[in-house]
Amino acid sequence: MLELLSFIMLIVRQLFYILGVLAFGKYLLKK
C-alpha cells in the first residue's frame, strides 16, 4: 500500500514537472 502511494506521488511529481516546463516554454515564446 505504501509503495503504491509513493509510486503515485512520483508520477504526480513528474506530471507537475512536465506541466511546469511546458508553461515556462510558452511564457518564453510569448515574450
The total domain count for the chain is 1
Q: Which domain holds residue 1?
A: 1-30
In the chain, the N- to C-terminal Cα span, in Å, equals: 45
Q: Output the pTM of the full model.
A: 0.62
pLDDT tens series, the chain, 31 aa: 799 999 999 999 999 999 999 999 999 999 8
pLDDT of residue 31: 81
pLDDT of residue 1: 77
| Sole residue written with cell 511529481 | 13
| Sole residue written with cell 515574450 | 31
Question: Where is 26: in which H helix or E strand?
Answer: helix 2-30
pLDDT of residue 23: 96
Distance, CA of 18 to CA of 26 (rounded, Å):
12
